[in-house]
Amino acid sequence: MTNPSLLILAGDGIGPEVMAEVRKIIDWYGARRGVTFDVSEDLVGGCAYDKHGTPLHDDTMAKAQDVDAVLLGAVGGPKYDNLDFSVKPERGLLRLRKEMDLYANLRPAQCFDALADFSSLKKDVVAGLDIMIVRELTSGVYFGEPRGIFKEGNERVGINTQRYTESEIERVARSAFELARKRGNKLCSMEKANVMESGVLWREVVQRIGDTEYPDVELSHMYADAGAMQLTRWPKQFDVIVTDNLFGDLLSDLAAMLTGSLGMLPSASLGAPMANGRPKALYEPVHGSAPDIAGQGKANPIACVLSFAMALRYSFDMGTEADRLEKAVEEVLADGLRTADLMGPEGGAHVTTSQMGDAIVAALNASL
């Protein structure tokens, strides 16, 4: 039996730092649990542009298509702000998502008990929060045509097109319904059907899928702006939320801050099943490259660590090991260990990026 394969694309900024802590955990699974991965590494984003003149080399894209899962750190930085739009670091990530056809982006927002006081919202509002946002990832306004900056008369106009087909809505809706069945059997779909035709179609298709294929799942609909308000008013009213690319981008970042820090939030981007039955998949922390703290040991590796836990669960069918890793993170936080982004009025023991990774490995050892 061959080992599961994993391509690591650490990227830019703090990406290599947080990924180094994940490598410790991968090595731990091989040494202590007999779970060995065939790991390869390559470049994406600004570092790929520096070497190849493109944010994602064709050879790297081919590797991503061939492995069981891709684990990505972060891309971008001010060094690349003046590049042509077509070769900006973020285009590498968008190409991975598009060409791997990773249409369902799972973004959990979970508030660990140890961090309930760290959120800007009241403790009773966020304590115990555990929601999942399913964001459509390969269509919508980020990919629709026509797009660009054009001249109209004496001025320029910027154009982006919001576009969805029924089949694109159907497949992400099914992913969300299936996830809801495994959780609280409740799904809320968010769009802007009151002002956008794409939103009207979105609502109609999601409702049809719910009525015909998932009548056991409690389905509700909400305008996305009202959803943003409700997420900050009482987020625990939701379990699974499904929404389009643009609104999913905004709502998941909002939900991330309910937990206290972007440094805590992982994500999984899933596509159609491969020949081995596993979905094509890319896992990455929600946070960016944070170039202002890169190389200083200040970065929080937990989002990247939890992204690997999602890979264990969704790509490698290792739910028990995913639980083990998530529990180790929870215990480290309960012990009061805090990277710079988690240092608040309640205090805690300040640790570096590397020290946080070492503490998680120690908690994994203690779990045996």
Catalytic residues: 142, 192, 225, 249, 253
| Strand 104-110 relative to strand 130-136, pairing | antiparallel
| Strand 69-74 relative to strand 186-191, pairing | unpaired
**Tokens 């205090």 found at:** 347
Residue type, 143: F
Beta strands in the chain (DSSP E): 5-11, 38-42, 69-74, 104-110, 130-136, 144-152, 155-161, 186-191, 218-223, 240-243, 266-273, 279-285, 337-338, 349-350
Strand partners, 42: 9
- The token duo for 49 is 């542009």
- The token duo for 113 is 């008990």
Q: Three-class SS of residue 279?
A: strand
Tell the burial category of 145 from Cβ atoms under 10 Å away from its Cβ (0-12, 13-18, 19+).
exposed
Residue type, 235: P
Tell the burial category of 56 from Cβ atoms under 10 Å away from its Cβ (0-12, 13-18, 19+).
buried
